[in-house]
Amino acid sequence: MDARLETYNDKMQKAYDFLLSDYQTIRAGRANPHVLDKVKVDYYGTPTPIQQVGNISVPEARMIQIAPWEKSLIKEIEKAILASDIGITPSNDGSVIRLVFPELTEERRKELSKDVKKKGEDAKVAIRNIRRDGNDALKKLAKEDVSEDEIKDMEGQLQKMTDKYIKDIDEAVEVKNKEILTV
């Protein structure tokens, strides 16, 4: 691959990685600790990721358990979870907080499936925008004594890169949809 195309490959990889991390926060019926990745707890006035204030475990397929390192944080952790968009009400027994994930209804599975497809489409648009930026940059190279053949070759490499990432995104969408729609 031409060194001048590396930045576009890096940008496409970042767009793909962002999609995958976004998919980890979508719950698919099973308890996945990653749904808590964006939840911040008020820890002595500082918004702190929930993973840094307690131990998170998955004792059962549909339950996440949070054992805070300080008992005084239980109320703050519950408040943060209720304020987040994960849609689960926490329960506590004074020492640990439990999040029980209900079975997803068919309707909710279809909603999540649409959301997964939309995020996939957004990622594809980002990839295509990166390709467009790359092609624009290649057109500018034509003015800097770079041969037409070299530019055509780089455009071909950029298109192959784009095709690869679009295919990867389609596969990720398919895998996540299968996970969501499996009862």
Instruction: Give the CATH number for residue 148.
Output: 1.10.132.20
CA max distance for the chain: 72
C-alpha 53/C-alpha 8 separation (Å) is: 38
Domain that holds residue 92: 33-100
| DSSP characters over 29-65 | SS--GGGGTT-EEEETTEEEEGGGTEEEEEEETTEEE
> Would you report the helix, strand and coil content of the chain in percent, each value rounded to 5?
65, 15, 20
The total number of structural domains that make up the chain: 2
CA distances from 162 to 20, 130, 166 (A): 17, 9, 6
Which of 84, 100, 116 lies at the terminal end of a domain, its last residue? 100
Alpha-carbon distance values, 119 to 128, 148, 175 (Å): 14, 37, 13
Question: Tens-digit pLDDT profile for the chain (183 aa)?
Answer: 677 789 999 999 999 999 988 887 776 666 778 878 888 888 888 888 888 888 988 888 788 898 998 888 888 888 888 888 777 788 888 889 898 887 778 888 888 889 899 999 999 999 999 999 999 988 888 777 778 888 889 899 999 999 999 999 999 999 988 888 876
CATH number of the domain encompassing residue 41: 3.30.1360.40
Predicted TM-score (pTM) of the model is 0.71
